[in-house]
Chain A
Amino acid sequence: MGFFGGVTALAKGFATTFQFAFRKKPTIQYPTIKKQHAPRFHGLHELRRYADGKERCIGCELCAIACPANAITVIGAENTPEDRRSPGERYAARYEIDELRCIFCGLCEEACPTDAIVLTPRFEMADYRRGSFIYSKDRLLVPPEAGVGTPPDERPGGIPADLGAVIERKSTVDIATGYGATHRGEILKTERRGLAG
């Protein structure tokens, strides 16, 4: 490349950057404008109910077994005739997901035999305390007043149209327990062993 070749190359480069200055910017101004996600976007979890208000979760722990990140802890309990939480024999007495460990792969959703746990398109979960990322039933379960919506197994293509419509609830975890958050699942498992033995 001689002198003129070099100069031409330089001119080309300058023309390119100059043209780019007037192109349309692909940036989405995030907090003010939000991107429309795909319907099956993997976001925050939600525990669904049946149309009669009963919980879908039967406390089988398949989601906890399927979870590659060990983010889910389920402790089941027996339903009693006086207090029937779910149509099955058992229900989830405790159901906790550590959203910091979760990799949002959706395997829990696939493993669930009753379509109880589903991933919603909600993704804004930022908080100041680690403990706040442990979502227990009080935040995961669709509240009865929010309506049951369409049950997941009856939707065309299984796409949940009303997912993420659940009202936002604040974390109930206090700062002190928040710091022990990383071991939270372990503590719960020890508790469960205590129950079993």
Chain B
Amino acid sequence: MLDQVPWWVVALLKSAIILFVVLTTFAYSMLFERKIMAWMQLRPGPNRVGPWGMLQPAADAAKMLFKEDLTPDTADPVIYKLAPFISLICAMGAFAVIPFSETSAGLWGVGDVNAGILVIFALTSIGVYGISLAGWSSGSKYPLLGAVRSTAQMISYELAMTLSIVGVLILAGTTSLAGIVHAQHRVWFIIPQIVGFIIYIITAVAETNRAPFDLVEAETELVGGFHTEYSGLRFGLFFIAEYLNMITVSCIATLLFLGGWDAPFGLTFIPGIVWFVLKVGLFIFMYIWLRTTLPRLRYDRLMNFGWKVLLPVATLNLMVTAAIVAVTG
């Protein structure tokens, strides 16, 4: 039956479903974060809207919608209004190439691109334009400082991040995400690529601008950084983009290092999608845990760490992996 439907209808339907699922995941990962953070800080967390605060995301969304959308006088109006959409579209676009699971009917995902991992990295790199342009076009000093930081941080961490996953690509011999998962059927890449995994996890935190690398926002120093001037729905869009990016990097970590939807210990009776969600959830929990535990790094130390530690180690890891693959064939 599905064969008679034009391909673009299928793609549209799939996109709609994935957008719905992903945005719901965003809403509840935010609630999850607030709850976990609250517990770790000896608070009960949101518990007034609905049972266990389950309707809190809906209440937040309604609040965001009804807030006034302000534009500062000094702002560049066109770019200022456009910037949140750049962030959001790039964050959402990445989900187009992520395969969530695989059944006998085929891959669960919108598109199976043979250079999937490159597409995701390209999109997340463009995403930083949203932040930089937002900070620049606000016409205000703190957002500008945030924008400068985001650019510097992106350059110093994107490099180490890309190098850290090249080892995986060498082992898998493909840049297709589904292909990488298939290559991990015997052993997950977290075992041979443990160094790459650790570097990826660290740089992913910097990539998504989350604590302890949230210098771009840095409430205590920059009054919110790039989004200081934003309010209402536009602020909400940045918020969505940040969480979607967090989910994206968790998905990539799952696909590249934890075998994606591959069931561990031969527990194949549990469907792959469950494993995938569990693994992504583990990473998201780790991000929240990290945020509650570590204070924000100083700017120069962050730069030092990126250039003088992560980059050399990632390069070394890449060279060793390449040498071993070349020798063993």
One digit per residue, 1 when the CB lies within 8 angstroms of any chain B CB and 0 when it does not, for chain A 5-38 equals: 0000010011011101111011101000000000
**Within 8 Å of chain A (Cβ to Cβ): is B114?**
no
One digit per residue, 1 when the CB lies within 8 angstroms of any chain B CB and 0 when it does not, for chain A 25-61 equals: 1110100000000000000000000000000000000
B289, A18: Cβ atoms under 8 Å? yes
Within 8 A of A (CB), among B44-59: 44, 47
Which of B43, B44, B47, B293 meets A17, CB within 8 Å? B293
B40, A21: Cβ atoms under 8 Å? yes
Check A20/B43 contact, CB under 8 A, given A13-B293, A13-B294, A14-B293.
Answer: no
Residues of A within 8 A of B289 (CB): 14, 17-18
Check A20/B39 contact, CB under 8 A, given A14-B289, A25-B44, A29-B44.
Answer: yes
What is the bound-complex CA distance between A22 and B36, given in angstroms? 10
Q: How large is the interface on A (under 10, 10 to 19, 20 to 34, 35 or more residues)?
A: 10 to 19
Residues of A within 8 A of B47 (CB): 29
B294, A26: Cβ atoms under 8 Å? no
Residues of A within 8 A of B39 (CB): 20-22, 25
**Within 8 Å of chain A (Cβ to Cβ): is B42?**
yes
**Distance in Å from the Cβ of A19 to the closest Cβ of chain B?**
9
**Within 8 Å of chain A (Cβ to Cβ): is B41?**
yes
Within 8 A of A (CB), among B12-63: 36, 39-44, 47
A25, B43: Cβ atoms under 8 Å? yes
**Within 8 Å of chain A (Cβ to Cβ): is B125?**
no
A20, B294: Cβ atoms under 8 Å? no
Residues of A within 8 A of B40 (CB): 17-18, 20-21
Within 8 A of B (CB), among A84-99: none
**Within 8 Å of chain A (Cβ to Cβ): is B292?**
yes
**Distance in Å from the Cβ of B34 to the closest Cβ of chain A?**
13
Which of B36, B42, B292, B293 meets A26, CB within 8 Å? B42
Residues of B within 8 A of A18 (CB): 40, 289
Residues of B within 8 A of A17 (CB): 40, 289, 292-293
Q: Which residue of A lies closest to B36 (CB)?
A: A21
Residues of B within 8 A of A13 (CB): 293-294
Residues of B within 8 A of A21 (CB): 36, 39-40
Apart from A17-B40, A20-B40, 9 more pairs, CB < 8 Å: A13-B294, A17-B293, A18-B40, A20-B41, A21-B40, A22-B39, A23-B42, A25-B42, A29-B47
Q: Which residues from chain A sit less than 8 Å from chain B, CB to CB?
A: 10, 13-14, 16-18, 20-23, 25-27, 29
Name the 4 nearest CB pairs between A and B, nearest first: A21-B39, A17-B293, A17-B40, A21-B40
Q: What are 20 A-B interface contacts by the 8 Å CB criterion?
A: A13-B293, A13-B294, A14-B293, A16-B293, A17-B40, A17-B292, A18-B40, A20-B39, A20-B40, A20-B41, A21-B36, A21-B39, A22-B39, A23-B42, A25-B42, A25-B43, A26-B42, A27-B42, A27-B44, A29-B47
Q: Which residues from chain B sit less than 8 Å from chain A, CB to CB?
A: 36, 39-44, 47, 289, 292-294
